[in-house]
Every structure is written in structure tokens, then in C-alpha cells.
Amino acid sequence: MRKPFIAGNWKMNMNSATAVALAAGLAKELEDVDTVDIAVCPPSVYLQSVAAALSASNIAVGAQNVYFEGNGAFTGEISCDMLKDTGCSYVIIGHSERRHVIGETDELINKKIAAAINSGLLPIFCIGELLEERQAGKTNDVVADQVKKGLAGLCEERIQAITIAYEPVWAIGTGLTATPDQAQQVHGMIRGLLSELYNEDIAERIRIQYGGSAKPDNTSELMAQPDVDGLLVGGASLKVEDFSVMVKAVA
């Protein structure tokens, strides 16, 4: 049985005061929840203060990005060990905004995933098709290709640290959500692929989140799908009330 996992991706939002206030508000609101894994992913400059605000809570902290090298002359980048040092346990890798706005490739994403797992971080590995790819009937091919390239070279033991987040690009931040059927179709395909690439036992254990305009209104119907194990929440994770309503609906 997979434990549901709801993560908030704060993206490039908040300041030092509002980040800590949001974290503290969630810690209070969600203190009784023990049937859902919960994480928030603030901007990296606020990781330490958010981790401190959540240190006595059931909410984990994740970063939104990482670099694969250990240290050295990589101006502007942050290593896995640095993230761990701030109190992170998770890291989002391959988010569509990093693929499409910043230009990250599958190969770079694969290196980041491997480095994160090697250092003991838990990657939230994001994949998803563009609207034109869906309209051209290529969703399964695009998503399967991203999964294969992102996980290339990862052995059975290391792969178990991963959460996969299926986030159709056309649904992110647009208010358009995949229907529960559309989400289930792709999640089921991904689980089948994991079974081929690894084995059925591993495929059954890996959690697959849905992301893309997930909100209080659609949480229950998305989570009712057999292969939807959690949510990666952007906009709705920025308000204590919305995010905690979603977590409680799942709990």
C-alpha cells in the first residue's frame, strides 16, 4: 500500500517573513495528520528558515532544484550536500519550468537524479507532455521517453528513493486540470513502464503524484484514481487554508 504524498511547490514566491508564516501555519493546521507524507518546497534562500519553522512538525522540506556536482566552480548552483545541510530531505528535479523556461535536458536531469539519490536526497522527478504533444496523440511516447531517459542507469535499489510527478505542461498554472481519467491513463502507463524497466514489486512501491492545477475542488477525484498516489501542488500550496484542506481531504 503506497502512503499518499502531497508536496507544495512554492516556485519563485514568498519572502523571508511570509515563507516562515506559511510554514508555521501549515505545521499548526496539519499537526494531527499522520496518514499522508507532506512536504513543502520553498525557494532555496528560504530553505533554512522554513526547515527551522518545521523542525518539530510532520512536514518535510524539499528544494526546487539541485546541481549534480559535489562542489567547486559552478557559480550560482547548489549541491546535494548543501541542500541536506539546510534541512532538506526532498528535491524537485526536472520540473517543466526548468525544462522549458531554463532549458534543462533529459541528460542533465538524469545526472541530477543520480547525484540526489547518491547523497541521500529523495527526488521528486517531474515529467509531462506539452499541449501540442497531447493533441498529436504523443502523450504516452513523450512521457515514457522522459521516464526512460531520466532514470537511465539507476539500479533497482536506488530507484526506490524516487517519487514521480506527472505534470501535463498544459495544466500547470493554467487552471486547466487533467481529468481524473486522463491522469489515471498516464499514471497507469508509467507504472507499467516501471514494471518493465525494473519489476512489478518496485512499480507497485513507487509513488506517482499528479500535478497541474491541483486544488481543493479536484483533490478527491484525482486521488480516487488507483495509480494517483499524491499531488504536487503549485498555486494552491501558497495558502495555508487551501493546502491544508487538500492534505486533510487525502488523510
Residue 29 known to be catalytic: no
Nearest to 147 by CA among 103, 101, 181, 195: 195
Nearest-5° Cα angle at 98, 12 to 83: 65
- Name the minimum Å distance from CB 213 to ligand PGA: 4
CB 126 within 8 A of CB 232: yes
SS3 of 67-128: the string is CCCCCCCCCCCCCHHHHHHHCCCEEEECCHHHHHHHCCCHHHHHHHHHHHHHHCCEEEEEEC
Binding mask 157-176 for ligand PGA (x = CB under 6 A): ----------x----xx---
100 is catalytic: no
Q: Using CB atoms, what's the residue nearest to ligand PGA?
A: 234
What is the distance between the alpha carbons of residues 249 and 251, in angstroms, rounded to a whole number? Answer: 6
Site string for ligand PGA, 182-221 (x = CB under 6 A): -----------------------------xxxx-------
Indicate whether 234 belongs to the interface with ligand PGA (CB under 6 A): yes
Minimum distance between the CB of residue 64 and ligand PGA, rounded to whole angstroms?
9
Q: Which of 232, 240, 246, 247 binds ligand PGA (CB under 6 A)?
A: 232
Cα 192 to chain center, whole Å? 20
| Residue in 97, 104, 129, 167 annotated catalytic | 167
Nearer to ligand PGA, 96 or 184 (CB): 96
> What residues act catalytically?
95, 167
Give residues in contact with ligand PGA (CB under 6 A).
9, 167, 172-173, 211-214, 232-236
